[in-house]
Amino acid sequence: MRQTKGAKLLVHWIVGVVLLFVFAGSAGAQQRAVQVAAVADDPFGEKQSYLQQIHVNEAWDVAKGNTNIIIAVVDTGVDLSHPDLQPNLINGINLISPKLLPRDDNGHGTNVAGVLAAATNNDKGVSGILWNAKIMPIKALESDGSGGEAKLGEGIRYAVDHGAKIVVLSLGLNKYSTYMSDIVKYAEDHDVLLVAATGNEGNRVKYPAAYPTVLAVGGMTAERTADNRSNTGPEVDLVAPWDVFTTALGGSYEYKDGTSMAAPQVAAVAALAWSKYPDFKAYQIRQLLRQTADDLGSPGWDASTGYGLLRADRALSEMPLLDMYEPNNRKDQAKPVSISKTISASFSGGSDQDWFAFDASYNGTVRITFQQESGQSITVQHTDASGAFTSQTVGPGEAAVLPVTKGRSYLQLQLGNRNFKGEAAYQMTTSFDIYRDPFEDNDKQYKASVLPSRSQTIKGTFHQQNDQDWFEFRVMQSGTLNIRLSTDTARIDPVLFVQKQGEKSVTIDDGEDGASENLQLSEVFPGSYYIKVSNVKEYPYPVTGEYYLTIEYDAKQIDPNEPNNRSYQATTVSLNTEYDGLMDKADDVDWFQFPLSGDSLVQVDVSDIPSGIEMGATLYDGSMRPITNSSSGYALQLRQRLGTGNYYLKLGASGAFDHHMYRLIVGVKPLVGGYADINGHWAMDNILAMSDKQVINGYDDYTFRPNHAITRAEATTLLSRALNLSKQKGIYYTDLAPDHWAYPYIARAAQSGIVDGYPDGSFAPDQPVSRMEMISMIAKGLNKTGKRRGANPFTDVDDNYWGTPILKQMKAEGWIDGYADGSFRPDQQASRAEFVSMLAKMLP
């Protein structure tokens, strides 16, 4: 039997009285005030399990509503006569039919409003997260739930101009636009918090959620994982429960799901937090919700769940932090952040370093801008997934533009003024631009990139405004041609255009956003076929994503290398050049030859092997003695270090094929001292000298990677070898096991007092070594203790800097030099080349 509201309140009152008597008796003369936890008693409350998932009951002990701010719902309108919503509604607007009230003719906006602020403890229906609120309904979508960005932008601007502090956007578009970006900036400039759903297609985050300052909300399952339909990507901030029970049209109630129902949960908790911190700016509320989220999955931010599950209780009970990412003073403490978002952090003085990590899904560039009140410049040091290092110092209003390769990159940030005292809070905005594909510049038909006359799949991007890519495919023999255009993101609506030279064109645009387009030509004749790939013309903006153009050309091919069935008929190949071939008979073999004029690293790649075929390759020296061999389907590779001479390559196959060309490339890199990447490098002589002394060695791929940052483990190992350290003491560091490859070298260096760990008991073996740390290690190896007298040798250090005495001595004795501008850049990461060059100076 369902209890009435009056009965429940009576029970709560009796419990409260009993508790008061119990506490009074146990405390003697002391009296203690007891507060009974806030409880919602609406009839359908048991169906609102999502409220327990975000711990809203505990939050209600602090705040139950917020009538000091306006929350706008830009949607399909709201059921204005719903008894559970009426008490919390204020006047809004109907942008679809301006003469009418913003009544909901779809139901979606009513669902959203109920999650936000269904009246609570009114003996009706469900409980809103906000018991009391001011909800402004703005109808910007049609009755079928569709709408364009013009009305969406108009709705956001109306909300901002009419006093809204929070705007809920449980809707989305796949495409970026300057117009919507300007609207979002307008809201941010007016300190209005935009909260948007990421979308429910299992694809990329939709706009406006994808803009950097919009709080993007995904959906979470009851198992505390991101729902597989919830859109993911670098723009995700938080997740909230996917399933809700909420208000519906006609004064009714229903179950609903999706990120549309998750977003209002976040907006409501933001309003509760704003009631406790009324002076907070929108960015501070954003950061507080991120800080107090319940981390899900891998530690820190991730592209599926963002910073984690919304926690209403923590948002109202935990102390807001000026920098939620601390401690992050070292690379091994780097905190993951998005590659496309605005976050807030702080420097605790000029010596504080902030380390962050971000993941790039593609090659490209990252643009980083800062906002801060201190007006200080910020030094940005960046190491991308390939190990490439860059360093830039940017002032207020300037941007650091960093090239990145696919994978994880690391950022080290520090104030340019190392002597700055106090806190320097900042906002950091990251944005990503995808790489320019290798077929550019091909935006016009006369610039069409010529493709090989064979079946293939190529990958391209729309990296700039109004980008379109033209290709020329030359049909050499009659056959069939199938063309398929696909993409990895719904942000691209691909359009396929095909025209045989001199004939009519065909345009294929049958699918929706992200859907593939296909064209089958049952008979093609010799001539040039022009293919244009573009995004739908209404959306000319750059896109973070790739398209795939697959061409299946079925025609009998002719091997251009024949006859080469015998070693004495071997085709001489140009190194690092592509060759095509085929096996038109079951016993066919193809011979190739190439000369080498010096010690080299040779890599033979055979790719585009037809399905169901296995190819084999054998490499021979000039005396026809086999050196190495390999076999594989689809692609195979031989990698070998070879000296001066003439070499032969024999290719064979498990079966004949004459409708598909394989591709052969013999790649060669000259080796200097056994390394493929130091020829012409400024430190080449020092690298060779240290290699001869067996102080250093390279990697298994015959590289030395001179420009990569050197780690503490690597630097310590090189120094131990250079100094022939042999005495070893027992050491213990929390992050260095005895079986670590550098353990004995670190133990010897520790015995000699050259290195030590950190106060937290760690050694951080993979932490990059700064230039100052490098000089300090070298100085200890030379028994240099530093000197305090004399002029400061560099413009960017002063007498209070810990390394100044060492720098003075090492500079005075000719061990080190600075840069042309008089600086030393002590906190910049040292490269492997720099460290080896210092070792070369040490050793006779």
Q: With contact defined as beta carbons under 8 Å apart, do 423 and 342 qualify?
A: no
Burial 543-552 (b: 16+ CB within 10 A, else e): bbbbbbbebb
The yes-or-no answer on residue 82 being catalytic is no
The CA distances from residue 24 to 21, 27, 62, 661, in Å, are 5, 5, 24, 91
Q: Which amino acid is at 710?
A: I
Measure the CA–CA gap between 25 and 29, rounded to whole angstroms.
8
Which residue from 50, 600, 697, 676 is spatially nearest to 312, judged by alpha carbons? 50
> Contact 235/163 with Cβ under 8 angstroms?
no
- The β-bridge relationship of strands 645-653 and 657-670 is unpaired
DSSP codes joined into one string, 300-363: S-BTTTBT-B--HHHHHHSPPPS-TT-S-SSGGGPEE--SS-EEEEEEESTT-EEEEEEEESSS
* Joined tokens for residue 776: 């300090």
Alpha-carbon gap, residue 840 to 820, rounded angstroms: 22
Decide if 385 contacts 405 (C-beta within 8 A). Answer: yes
Task: Report whether 559 contacts 571 (CB < 8 A).
Answer: no
Tokens of 402: 């960093």
CA–CA separation, 761 and 736 (whole Å): 10
Active-site pick, 170, 177, 230, 260: 260
- According to DSSP, the residues that pair with 838 across neighbouring strands are none
Print burial letters for 798-814: b (CB count within 10 Å at least 16), e (below 16).
Answer: eeebebbbbbbbbbeee
Q: How far apart are the first and last CA of the chain?
A: 93
Q: Evaluate whether 775 touches 816 at the Cβ level (below 8 Å).
A: yes
Backbone angles phi, psi at 120, to 5 degrees: -110, 145
Annotated catalytic residue, options 42, 75, 469, 590: 75
Contact 126, 118 (CB under 8 A): yes
Specify the 3-state DSSP secondary structure of 110. Answer: helix
Is residue 16 within 8 A of residue 36, CB to CB? The reply is yes
- What is the 3 state secondary structure string of 754-807? CCCCCCCCCCCCCCECEHHHHHHHHHHHCCCCCCCCCCCCCCCCCCCCCCHHHH
CB 497 within 8 A of CB 532: yes
Backbone angles phi, psi at 754, to 5 degrees: -85, -35
SS3 of 620-656: the string is: ECCCCCEEEEEEEECCEEEEEEECCEEEEEEEEECCC
Measured CA to CA, the distance from residue 373 to residue 38 in angstroms comes to 40
Q: Which of 55, 82, 105, 108 is catalytic?
A: 108
**Does 75 participate in catalysis according to the annotation?**
yes
The residues, any chain, with a CB within 8 Å of residue 510's CB and separated by 6 or more, are 517
Question: Tokens 């899900």 identify what position?
Answer: 296
Number of H helices, E strands in the chain: 15, 36
Nearest to 492, CA basis, from 450, 531, 463, 518: 463
Beta bridge partners of residue 606, listed in sequence order = 636, 664
How far apart CA 159 and CA 156 sit, in angstroms, is 5
Asked about 344 being catalytic, the answer comes back as: no
Tokens of 793: 């040798």
Tracing tokens 């000039």 back to the chain, one arrives at 622
Active-site amino acid positions: 75, 108, 260
